[in-house]
Amino acid sequence: MRRFLLPLLIFVVLVGFLAVGLRLKPREVPSPFIGKPAPMFSVSQLHQPEANFSPSDLKGQVWLLNVWASWCVSCRQEHPVLVELARHNVAPIIGLDYKDGREPAIAWLNEHGNPYRLSIWDQDGKVGIDYGVYGVPETFVIDKAGIVRMKHIGPLTQTVVSEKIIPLVKELNGA
């Protein structure tokens, strides 16, 4: 009887871990940056390599940082949602072109439309690493004081934008 008890106990523990894991939402990975200052950086702009961008340039504004790349399949799915969001001018959207070539990225935006106030070029991925990027696309909402208020992993959907991002931006803007 004892020799069956240990395998049964191990099986029950594994089933418990599986049950807990199935209830988790993979798009809601907790970020250590929520409620903390957005990591600072200064990198060149995608379209104007001679000009740099830093998060301090948007201090006093609520803005979004959208991590994307021309090679990203999910970014194609998300892109029309970003274009629509930009059309409504809810908040400035800054694109972070992640581990990509400058020319393919510019060509991709020219082909699909450019929802970004500006895009910055993170060729080696250092900015993405500083922000804890798991993969692309990811979107961050950053408040007027430069504090990260939300992180969304994966492609934005109209539901996420209308139910989470727009209400949060309005709240942060005091509207």
* pLDDT above 80 (res 8): no
The pLDDT of residue 13 is 74
Contacts of 128 (CB under 8 A, 6+ apart): 67, 96, 98, 99, 122
Tens digits of residue pLDDT in 62-79: 999 999 999 999 999 999
Let me know: does 27 contact 153? Beta carbons within 8 Å.
yes
Domain boundaries along the sequence of the chain: 29-172
**Average of pLDDT values for 78-104?**
97
Q: Domain 29-172 class?
A: alpha beta
The pLDDT of residue 22 is 64
Tens digits of residue pLDDT in 26-57: 545 556 779 999 999 999 999 999 999 999 99
Tens digits of residue pLDDT in 96-137: 999 999 999 999 999 999 999 999 999 999 999 999 998 899
